[in-house]
Structure 1
Amino acid sequence: MKLNYRVAIFGLALLFGIVVSAPSLLNSSWGKKVTLGLDLQGGLHMLLGVKTDEAVKAHTKSIAASIKRFTQKKDILIDDLKFDQKSIDFTLLDSDDKKAIEEYLKGIKGVTYAFNGEKVHIELTPKEIEETKKHAIDQAIETIRNRLDQFGLSEPLVAKQGDGSILVELAGIKSAEDEQRARELISRAARLELMAVDEDRAGRVYTMTPQEAAEYGDVILSDVKNPKVKYLVREIPIIEGDMLTDAHVGFDQNNRPVIDFTLNAEGAEIFGDFTGKNVGKRLAIVLDGKVYSDPRINERIGGGSGQISGNYTVVEAKDLAIALRSGALLAPIYMLEKRSVGPSLGADSIKASMIALVSGFVLVMLFMVLYYKMAGVIANIALIANLFLILAIMALFGATLTLPGMAGIVLTVGMAVDANVIITERIRELLREGVSIHKAIEDGYSNAMSAILDANITTLIAAVVLYVYGTGAIKGFAITMSIGILASMLTAILGTHGIYEMLEKRIAKSKNNHFWFGIKA
């Protein structure tokens, strides 16, 4: 026996597979491990709906706020600025400013506008409304995914389902407390707004109706700590959450958790200008429609930073900071369906999958040994190495193993041994023709290569397509199948070839083709 480079590579690959997959197989506390999916370890399954009409209203409100900022910056006098679901109205006090207003409105995408004397009416186009609704769903998916990533969950599934629903699967959520935290983090709008308090009418807030407040361009909000405390604030905010660049947990002078936030350059400029012009007045810090504080402005505030204080724990403050950093939801979301998958059900799935995998594996190995003798044993060595490599690569990259992923491994077992069947049959054909062992092995691999490559490459292409366009369970199946195909190319082609080369002289000397390849005399 003489070692060759093929056996050396195969041996290193097998060693790598055993060492890296060991923590997953032994369930140890050290090393990287394969993460089990929702169907294997239990967790939370949710189907969420999105209130897209609210996204349209928020978009309209944002346009109204931008118009207000533009007119203030250019010293254009307007009055009675109001908005509803999809339109904005205001009065232009100086007709000389009409051209400047019109030029600005031309630059706003997806709106139509009309002048009726000094009255200006702006409306979202039907196309813009549809695009806003679609964007709200896409943005909700991305925002929820970002929040859950920062929450620390391993590979949460967040995907669009149907026209307007969002599927969320969180593996490893076992306690009611973790479930509640995850649900609150997902559903929290995290819409931060800095709104001016209407000092002229603030004293009437407890006797004023919401309809009367709306006539003045105001809205009545309640205090986050005490819902009985009311505030009358301007409906169009000074600063919106999309100007936020960072939010993190800090502590006030009493060592209570607070949220320190930072604004972008535009927000900092607007914040500085507003506070400079409104010294002595109050500015309400509003989060998700609740007033957290209403500090009085003592001087111009530059730097674009602020603080949100409230009666919450460090964990709640951390989750709030995550929600703010990952961005506000453009539209509220609501629960359509929720179910918990218990760890016991996951354990049953693992047990059933392992029975299928082990039984399939053993039957394949038995067939190979009984039919191909020692060639079958060599093929089985490659098959074992293939399984170790699949687990090792999944553990190395932190991939999630799901129930369909287990099915992908079972399928890979069949595909991996198929390559060895083709190679062994080619070798047997050549040996029957009376060629030497060396030529039979070399030509056998050469003749089988095109068929093996064609089959593996086409299957790999299908797996890649499944991964790119599939979701959840389909991705899990595609991942394990892809890894298995690539691993089998190494073990079944390179590894077994090297073993045959190493044993070639012994095989030739024994002259027992039945023992080595199962050829009947």
Structure 2
Amino acid sequence: MLDIPLWKRVVIWGVVALGLLLAAPNLFYGKVEGHNDAAALIERGAEPTGEIADALAQWPGALPSGLVNLGLDLRGGAHLLAEVHVEDVYAERMDGLWPEVRDVLRAERATIGTIRRQDSPPDELRVRISEPAQINRAAELVRDLAQPIVTLTGVGSSDIEVTTDGPDLIVRLSDAEKRATDDRTIQQSLEIIRRRVDEVGTREPTIQRQGEDRILIQVPGIGSAAELKALIGTTAKLTFNPVVNRTGDPDADPGPRNIILPSVDEPGEFYVLERTPVVSGEQLTDAQPTFDQNGIPAVNFRFNPSGARLFGDYTAENIGSPFAIVLDNEVISAPVIQSHIPGGSGIITGNFSVEESTQLAVLLRAGALPAEMTFLEERTIGPELGQDSIDAGRIACIVALGAVLLFMALSYGTFGMFANIALLLNVAMIFGILSLIGGTLTLPGIAGIVLTIGMAVDANVLVFERIREELKTARGPARAIEQGYARALSAIIDANITTFIVATILFTLGAGPVRGFAVTLGIGIMTSVFTAIFVTRLLIVTWFERRRPKTIEV
């Protein structure tokens, strides 16, 4: 009656062994972490030096090397809350729309007369025509440039609104387009921040949107909040602008559609540049740190085909003229074009250190942030505080585990010891699954494991109590064990499914620490059901087959 097929026994012990094997690297955390870091460096093309080779040899390559990543509260690191200035993108949209408006109005110059762009707020484009009587005709021409908005909330809306004010034509983004633009700006900022953080090899950062225009950034293992700000706080907006002239007066009038920017290498010097760049960093496809012909750190760059064509055409037409390389509104270099530069590649030189050239290359590869960010909150969590959290979590787990083991042993004797073995395997399997999926363990996650330890024996308690009841019917121990498991199964499934649903809701709707708790709780429920229904039963059946007791006490 208690027969379990051989294949099922092999599968059960195979799953347990796999879980223990996956969890094992966490017992040698430092060695495995060094091995993984060395392997990652080699994959990125680093030379296998003696130090890297030694780190690689600390853990056998044939064994699993996945680790449970430690969260910010356990490992230490940096925490930032940034506000994205989404309105900055509106001005860029208006500047980008101006060439199209200009071209469509110029085609009707005979009717509407001459056109001239006027000064206006950043989020609108104002154009004056010399024939005010034709302002409605001009408005119709510009309205034809409108595009439909492809979003669920903007269906049926256009991206621009065109109004008139005397001889002036005013173009603004529609409210629906502003909402869509804000959403795209935040999503693009999230992706670029994630790429920048991933470039430096940090583990399991938390980068997520909060509210309408804020981004939460938590990076375990990084030195300080200032270091993280230096990495992601730079807009890294690169442009190549024509140079109009130089001046020593920052308040000089640059002229219409021009800007005046300071020089990085020459303090006190300023460049007057055309506002519209020839090419921008958005057209870069690669950037790598290098050294120029004088051995000074620099950055190599390469454009995509469209950027390469624009760059090549401009250099061919302006030999002997200077052009400025502008990074975040500062002129880092203003070389004179010596010859045609085909192929779309070049080098950025400046007063860089090796670290600065490497960081600039990282920022350019990741792309420019679409808008400026203001950091509203910043915190550095030291490794010592993280170690205190680990120690507190370890003590909580040991106390909870010890109390449960003692309770089960005293309450159910031999059967309680079987439940205790299954509980220890359960905890190991939780860490094995976390290692397999690359999960991050946080302090709330440890709370989820502690709760799982308490809940894990619930299923065994239900089974053992049912066995006790069945023993009173004098059907014999084998029949009592079989009926105990059969009749307790539905209650076990129902109780754990409802808890698993709660964990799923917490993971779906929660963020940060709440998700960490939900992950460990959900994994713990699955492993608890497996160990209670299969592992504990297999232990009891194996013991019963060897001892063949006439009576049993639970």
State the distance in 2 between where 1:429 and 1:396 align.
Answer: 41
* Residue of 316, 334, 345 corresponding to 1:294: 334
By how many angstroms is 1:28 displaced? 3.9
* 2:436 corresponding residue in structure 1: 396
SS at match of 2:289: strand
State the distance in 1 between where 2:395 and 2:30 align.
Answer: 22
Aligned pairs for 1:244-283 within 5 A: 244-283=284-323
Larger CA deviation: 381-390 vs 445-454:
445-454
**How big is each residue's C-alpha offset from its partner over 1:230-276, in whole Å with a ceiling of 9 and x where there is no partner?**
11111122223333333222332233332222333333333344334
State the distance in 1 between where 2:321 and 2:126 align.
Answer: 27
By how many angstroms is 1:290 displaced? 1.0
Q: Residue 106 of structure 2 contacts residue 115 of structure 2 at CA under 8 Å; is this kept in 1?
A: no
State the distance in 1 between where 2:108 and 2:292 align.
Answer: 38
Residue 45, structure 1, aligned to residue 104, structure 2:
no
- Inter-CA distance 168–500: structure 2 relative to 1 (3 Å threshold): same
* 2:159 corresponding residue in structure 1: 110
Q: Residue 65 of structure 1 contacts residue 236 of structure 1 at CA under 8 Å; is this kept in 2?
A: no
* 1:472 corresponding residue in structure 2: 512
* Residue of 162, 186, 197 corresponding to 2:232: 186
* 1:336 corresponding residue in structure 2: 376
State the distance in 2 between where 1:110 and 1:511 align.
Answer: 83
- Inter-CA distance 309–467: structure 2 relative to 1 (3 Å threshold): farther
* 2:124 corresponding residue in structure 1: 87
* 2:427 corresponding residue in structure 1: 387
Counterpart amino acid of residue 177 in structure 2: E
Counterpart amino acid of residue 251 in structure 1: F
Structure 1 unaligned regions, length at least 5: none
By how many angstroms is 1:181 displaced? 3.1
* 2:552 corresponding residue in structure 1: 513
By how many angstroms is 1:399 displaced? 1.8
State the distance in 2 between where 1:152 and 1:93 align.
Answer: 58
- Inter-CA distance 67–318: structure 2 relative to 1 (3 Å threshold): farther
- Inter-CA distance 195–118: structure 2 relative to 1 (3 Å threshold): farther
Larger CA deviation: 182-191 vs 111-120:
111-120
Q: Residue 50 of structure 1 contacts residue 137 of structure 1 at CA under 8 Å; is this kept in 2?
A: yes
State the distance in 2 between where 1:90 and 1:433 align.
Answer: 95
- Inter-CA distance 283–493: structure 2 relative to 1 (3 Å threshold): same
Q: Residue 10 of structure 1 contacts residue 491 of structure 1 at CA under 8 Å; is this kept in 2?
A: no
What is the root-mean-square deviation in Å for CA atoms of aligned residues?
3.3
TM score, norm. by length of structure 2: 0.81
* 1:206 corresponding residue in structure 2: 248
State the distance in 2 between where 1:173 and 1:317 align.
Answer: 20
Q: Residue 250 of structure 2 contacts residue 270 of structure 2 at CA under 8 Å; is this kept in 1?
A: no
Q: Residue 440 of structure 2 contacts residue 516 of structure 2 at CA under 8 Å; is this kept in 1?
A: yes
By how many angstroms is 1:88 displaced? 1.9
Counterpart amino acid of residue 512 in structure 1: T
* 1:165 corresponding residue in structure 2: 214
- Inter-CA distance 59–106: structure 2 relative to 1 (3 Å threshold): closer
By how many angstroms is 1:149 displaced? 1.6
State the distance in 1 between where 2:182 and 2:391 align.
Answer: 44
Q: Residue 71 of structure 1 contacts residue 78 of structure 1 at CA under 8 Å; is this kept in 2?
A: no
Q: Residue 6 of structure 1 contacts residue 494 of structure 1 at CA under 8 Å; is this kept in 2?
A: no
* 1:441 corresponding residue in structure 2: 481
Q: Residue 477 of structure 2 contacts residue 551 of structure 2 at CA under 8 Å; is this kept in 1?
A: no
Aligned pairs for 1:56-135 within 5 A: 56-64=90-98, 80=117, 84-90=121-127, 102=142, 105-107=145-147, 110-113=159-162, 120-135=169-184
By how many angstroms is 1:19 displaced? 3.3
Count of residue correspondences: 503
SS at match of 2:87: helix
Counterpart amino acid of residue 475 in structure 1: R
- Tell me: higher relative CO, structure 1 or 2? Use CA pairs within 8 A at least 6 residues apart: 1
Counterpart amino acid of residue 470 in structure 2: L
**How big is each residue's C-alpha offset from its partner over 1:9-39, in whole Å with a ceiling of 9 and x where there is no partner?**
3433333333332332343403332222111
Question: What is the aligned-residue identity percentage?
Answer: 37
State the distance in 1 between where 2:545 and 2:73 align.
Answer: 50
Q: Residue 419 of structure 1 contacts residue 452 of structure 1 at CA under 8 Å; is this kept in 2?
A: yes
TM score, norm. by length of structure 1: 0.86
SS at match of 1:44: strand
By how many angstroms is 1:90 displaced? 4.3
Q: Residue 105 of structure 1 contacts residue 113 of structure 1 at CA under 8 Å; is this kept in 2?
A: no
Counterpart amino acid of residue 206 in structure 1: G
SS at match of 1:106: coil
Q: Residue 422 of structure 2 contacts residue 532 of structure 2 at CA under 8 Å; is this kept in 1?
A: yes
Structure 2 unaligned regions, length at least 5: 33-64, 149-157
* 2:153 corresponding residue in structure 1: none
By how many angstroms is 1:54 displaced? 2.4
Counterpart amino acid of residue 394 in structure 1: L
- Inter-CA distance 422–404: structure 2 relative to 1 (3 Å threshold): same
Residue 140, structure 1, aligned to residue 189, structure 2:
yes
Counterpart amino acid of residue 198 in structure 2: D
State the distance in 1 between where 2:67 and 2:321 align.
Answer: 57
* Residue of 16, 31, 38 corresponding to 1:29: 31
Counterpart amino acid of residue 445 in structure 1: Y
Counterpart amino acid of residue 209 in structure 1: D
Q: Residue 6 of structure 1 contacts residue 498 of structure 1 at CA under 8 Å; is this kept in 2?
A: no
**How big is each residue's C-alpha offset from its partner over 1:111-133, in whole Å with a ceiling of 9 and x where there is no partner?**
22357898643222334334434
**How big is each residue's C-alpha offset from its partner over 1:416-443, in whole Å with a ceiling of 9 and x where there is no partner?**
2111112222222222222243333333
Larger CA deviation: 130-139 vs 184-193:
130-139
State the distance in 1 between where 2:189 and 2:171 align.
Answer: 27
Q: Residue 361 of structure 1 contacts residue 413 of structure 1 at CA under 8 Å; is this kept in 2?
A: yes
State the distance in 2 between where 1:503 and 1:100 align.
Answer: 88
By how many angstroms is 1:391 displaced? 1.2
- Inter-CA distance 102–56: structure 2 relative to 1 (3 Å threshold): closer
Aligned pairs for 1:318-357 within 5 A: 318-357=358-397
By how many angstroms is 1:412 displaced? 1.2
By how many angstroms is 1:92 displaced? 7.0
State the distance in 2 between where 1:276 and 1:113 align.
Answer: 39
Counterpart amino acid of residue 195 in structure 1: N
By how many angstroms is 1:328 displaced? 1.5
State the distance in 1 between where 2:452 and 2:274 align.
Answer: 63
* 2:243 corresponding residue in structure 1: 197
State the distance in 1 between where 2:267 and 2:504 align.
Answer: 53
By how many angstroms is 1:72 displaced? 13
Residue 224, structure 1, aligned to residue 264, structure 2:
yes
State the distance in 1 between where 2:467 and 2:8 align.
Answer: 18
